[in-house]
Amino acid sequence: MVNCVGLIEIGVNDMDRARSFYCDLLGLAVRTADYLPRVLVLENDGPSIVLYLADQATSIAYPNQAQTLLAFQVDEIQQAMDELRAAGVELLHSEPETAPPGLFAAFRDPFGNVHELFERQMEPGA
């Protein structure tokens, strides 16, 4: 039935703030802004990441509530955590956690979405 993940959508309730967070802070590039003000498409090696304008923010009770989150791969998780912390981002882990296949640390975007930083330490499939 399903072949693969073809698109990733993230609901945000302030597109200017979302662009600042996902592009300026996290470092994702804009693929197209042709659909603004409702949609902004970001570059990604895999499926496109689409920011779409929602009416309101969310409140996710990580990790106790069922949810879908993205794990953004980084080269050095501690450095990435330090940069997010310095920018005032809410980190949900004080130190990186270990889980196959590497290290992770959760953070909350300005709209209540929870994502993770991820540093791969094992080869895929290992």
CB 14 within 8 A of CB 54: no
* Per-residue pLDDT reduced to its tens digit, 5-64: 999 999 999 999 999 999 999 999 999 999 999 999 999 999 999 999 999 999 999 999
Residue range 1-56 in CATH 3.40.718.10: no
pLDDT of 126 above 80: no
| 35, two tokens | 């659909």
Residue 76 scores a pLDDT above 90: yes
pTM of the prediction? 0.92
**Cis peptide bond prior to 101, omega within 30° of 0:** yes
Tell the CATH topology of 57-126. 2,3-Dihydroxybiphenyl 1,2-Dioxygenase; domain 1 (3.10.180)
Q: ω before 37 within 30° of 0 (cis)?
A: yes
Q: Which of 83, 81, 126, 84 is nearest to 104 (CA)?
A: 81
